[in-house]
Amino acid sequence: MPILKHRLLRLVALARRYPGVIAAFGFVSGVASFFLVDRHEGFARIIALVMLLGWVWLVLERMLSEMLLDRFGLRLPAPVLRYATQLIHQESLFFALPFFLASTSWNSGQAVFTGGLIVAALVALIDPIYYRRLAPRRWLFLTYHTLTLFVVLLVAMPLILQLPTARSYELALGIAVLLAFPSLLGSITVPRWWRGVLVVGLMGALAATGWLARLWVPPATLRLTDVALASRIDDAQRAPADSLAEIDAAQLAAQGLYAYTAISAPLGLQERVQHVWLHEGREIDRIALDIRGGRKEGYRAWTHKQRFPENPAGRWQVRVLTGDEQMIGTLRFRVSGMPAGG
């Protein structure tokens, strides 16, 4: 056992001496996992499982440390535990970040969420900020810890369990809130009889915030690979025959308009998505579609809208949403003029 302890301490000393190596490893392995997911189904699930096992260690860290001490007389040095936690944060964020970068609608509130993930990943790489600014502030570290677990679950659960995005979001939020319980309990120092009530209240607030914020959270395992608004669809090619940014009201009334989307979902995921048509910010129509992932180019689907308001002129959007309202992307176009007889 002294040999094992000596090697652990030596490993920590090397990590302190070459901190950039660990940071680079976390970044490269995270980005590599994103590209490997689309190519190797089995490897994708292994990566996701490793990420979740790392979080099991963090949740059970104290208990496992006590078991090592009781059974083998080995006490893990505090620096080893700190570096293990930091490494798991690095690996988790850089594993999840490429998925969110690819699926973010940058002209929406999702840019705020993904921007926050970028900042969180950089914090995990910069030791002075991580250890001196983040770690000593218990409430801030708990928030950081819970966010990191949440984003890992959002990516890992669809890959491992083949769950739809909406279901994955619900489970990821529930698990993250549940696993935050021990940390919340240890962070609150009010009198004992108040502590339970306050912890339950905070967990409820955390769950409510996560649920209301789902519109700003990109669907990590779904992304648009092609979009178009077209006057007709080439059925043989399953592709739009043209691409429009503006259409005349008379043509719109005569032909209608197709909203074409190709949605990539890795490993054959099955999803129900919606095309939501909005005119000047007001919802006009909502059409549901079932998609099946697996094609690198994305699953191709379209809706054909033929009934429009009497005066359709102005700005239009077609929002592509998951079943629980997470935004996959947005198409925008403008209608000019008035329909015949208007």
CB within 8 Å of 136: residues ≥ 6 apart: none
Split at pLDDT 50, 70, 90, the class of 142 is confident
Q: Among residues 193, 216, 239, which one ends one of the domains? A: 216
Tell whether 341 is covered by a domain. no
Number of domains present in the structure of the chain: 2
The β-bridge relationship of strands 246-248 and 327-336 is parallel
- How do residues 72-129 score in pLDDT, each as one tens digit? 565 656 666 677 778 778 878 888 888 898 889 888 889 999 999 999 988 988 878 8
Higher pLDDT, 286 or 206: 286
Let me know if 134 is exposed, middle or buried by CB neighbors in 10 A (0-12, 13-18, 19+): buried
Range of the structural domain that residue 47 is part of: 2-216
Nearest-angstrom CA–CA distance, 270 and 178: 27
On whether both 120 and 147 belong to a single domain, the answer is yes
pLDDT beyond 90 at 278: yes
On whether both 186 and 227 belong to a single domain, the answer is no
pLDDT of residue 117: 93
On whether both 98 and 231 belong to a single domain, the answer is no
The average confidence (pLDDT) of the chain is 77
Q: Among residues 216, 238, 269, which one ends one of the domains? A: 216
Tell whether 270 is covered by a domain. yes
Q: What CATH number did the domain enclosing 240 receive? A: 2.60.40.1930
Among 58, 75, 51, 60, smallest CA distance to 2 is for 75
Nearest-angstrom CA–CA distance, 187 and 106: 36
Q: What do you get for the CA distance between the two ends of the chain, in Å?
A: 87
Average pLDDT (263-271) is 70
Tell whether 190 is covered by a domain. yes
Average pLDDT (172-191) is 71
Nearest-angstrom CA–CA distance, 186 and 78: 18
Tell whether 311 is covered by a domain. yes
Nearest-angstrom CA–CA distance, 308 and 49: 48
Let me know if 70 is exposed, middle or buried by CB neighbors in 10 A (0-12, 13-18, 19+): exposed
Crossing angle of helices 41-59 and 138-161, in 10° steps, is 150
Cβ atoms within 10 Å of 280's Cβ, excluding its own: 11
pLDDT of residue 91: 79
Question: What secondary structure letter does DSSP report for 337?
Answer: S
Tell whether 237 is covered by a domain. yes
Cα torsion for 148, 154, 155, 157, to the nearest 10°? 120
On whether both 43 and 144 belong to a single domain, the answer is yes
Return the structure tokens found at 196.
Answer: 């339970």
On whether both 205 and 232 belong to a single domain, the answer is no
On whether both 275 and 159 belong to a single domain, the answer is no
Higher pLDDT, 301 or 11: 301
Percentage of residues of the chain with pLDDT beyond 90: 12
pLDDT beyond 60 at 9: no
Per mean pLDDT, which range of 24-33, 94-103, 257-266 is the poorest? Answer: 24-33
pLDDT of residue 316: 93
Tell whether 186 is covered by a domain. yes
**340: three-class secondary structure by DSSP:** coil
Tell whether 280 is covered by a domain. yes
Return the structure tokens found at 7.
Answer: 């090697």
On whether both 284 and 314 belong to a single domain, the answer is yes
On whether both 227 and 327 belong to a single domain, the answer is yes
On whether both 96 and 153 belong to a single domain, the answer is yes
On whether both 79 and 152 belong to a single domain, the answer is yes
Rounded to 5 degrees, what are φ and ψ at 197?
-65, -40
Q: Among residues 197, 216, 235, which one ends one of the domains? A: 216
Tell whether 342 is covered by a domain. no
Among 289, 335, 331, smallest CA distance to 309 is for 335
Burial per residue of 155-183, b for 16 or more beta-carbon CB atoms within 10 angstroms, e otherwise: bbbbbbeebbbbebbbebbebbbebbeeb
pLDDT beyond 80 at 40: no
Nearest-angstrom CA–CA distance, 125 and 87: 9
On whether both 60 and 164 belong to a single domain, the answer is yes
Split at pLDDT 50, 70, 90, the class of 217 is very high
On whether both 94 and 178 belong to a single domain, the answer is yes
Split at pLDDT 50, 70, 90, the class of 4 is low
Split at pLDDT 50, 70, 90, the class of 31 is low
